[in-house]
Structure 1
Amino acid sequence: MEAARWSPSCFNAQPWRLYTSTGATFDEYLNLLVEGNQAWAKDTSVIGFMVAERHFEHNGKPNAYAEFDCGAAWMALTLQARKEGLYTHGMGGILKPEITDYLKLDPARHEVVMGFTIGKLADLSNLSDEKRNEEVPNSRKSLDEIWFR
């Protein structure tokens, strides 16, 4: 979380807010994920949600870069977790309206950007064949497909 805190952002606004489960709220956070994500996230250590502040604190104007800045914070968090021997998984398969209600967020001020998990790598032999196959690195686009010179 400290690595996320140090991420760059427009006007240094740091628009990200990180909400993470505790022992008491773990199952409640789990139920805010779509069913497919619940199946494997039930065994993780932490479930969290990243929320963007939609407006700058210093002038109240809309921050068009809030979600972009949240992405920078997510990457910093992910890299630091990996350095510490932990694994992260970002998720779009979340129940945004339910998360907004659960966290008592004001939709005019906040945008639920993503869900995430943090934990240790599971023993792949404990996974179902379907889930084990999902752990094999996905094919990536070639550099020529994403880099235009």
Structure 2
Amino acid sequence: MRHTFPCPLRWSDMDSFGHVNNVVFLRYLEEARIDFMFRLARQAASGAFTGGSVVARHEISYLRPLVHRHEPVVVELWVTKIGAASLTVEYEVKDGPGEGDTVYVRASTVVVPYDLERERPRRLCDEEKAFLKEYLDDSATGAAAA
């Protein structure tokens, strides 16, 4: 199963070349990941990710330029690895339903659960692992396959 997040484009997302700036795509990924981990996960498991998390790594492949438009792009997110104290999510940033099948970006992020009070990484709890398993697809990795 994949989490689908509609992400609006802002006029300010464009750079001087007239396409969405490469750094802005990281913001799109962040918005989808925050929606996944801090809205959806907490609806399914009230204690999930309440302690915080940090990004340990990003990998991103830019496949096609994206120019400003009024229709949002879709960020699809799924889990490819669940470890004791980290998880890896993969993404595709693409056109929405009925708009074509263009994929603009494939990416992955390693996320580490974090204990904000102790200021150190922590292990994933059983509740978090159960939620993440619903979105687990370790058969293919999008960023690596690009």
Shorter-chain TM-score: what band? Answer: under 0.3
> What is the TM-score with the length of structure 1 in the denominator?
0.26
Higher helix share: 1
Larger of the two Rg values belongs to structure? 1
Higher strand share: 2
